[in-house]
Amino acid sequence: MREPIAAARTPAPRFRFPSNSPMTEQVVLGFDFGTRRIGVSLGNSITRHARPLQVIAAATSAARWEAIAALVEQWRPARIVVGVPRHPDGVAHEMTHRSQRFGRQLAGRYGVPVVFVDERYSSAVLEHGNASDADAAAVILQQWFDEGESG
């Protein structure tokens, strides 16, 4: 007796890489922290390419955290990369500490591992005057991908 035709058309289950496989796509969000605006970028572990996502320019701290929470919920990143500014000689300044605090807050609020990237020379990459904070965040995230995703 022949099998029904419908059974022959049932698609085979799709192959999935194990979750610990290097071929498993992991979404990564990048942040360029500022006191007035926060640039956000998006990338993934397979293409290793970062792109600007948006600029958060909310007036209050609560509104900024609400916008960040929505992004984390939407993209569910496996990792977050935060740019840390320093003086050209590597010495920390006020924004260095604020950016590090911001990164620790991200890790604490969302339970996502946070990696810090030295952003000293990211502005040199953005030579055109109309670059946004999201463009800066994309440069920071791309730098992390290019450096081999350490951390």
pLDDT(10) > 80: no
Residues 111-149: pLDDT tens digits?
Answer: 999 999 999 877 666 766 678 899 999 999 999 999 986
Top-level class of domain 25-39+60-151: alpha beta
Per-position DSSP letters for the chain, written without gaps between them: -PPPHHHHTSPPPPP---TTSTTS--EEEEEE--SS-EEEEEEETTT--EEEEEEE--SSHHHHHHHHHHHHHHH--SEEEEEE---TTS---HHHHHHHHHHHHHHHHH---EEEEE-TTHHHH--STT--HHHHHHHHHHHHHHTT---
| Residue ranges covered by each domain of the chain | 25-39+60-151
The DSSP bridge pattern shows strands 79-84 and 38-44 to be unpaired
pTM: 0.81
pLDDT attached to residue 64: 97
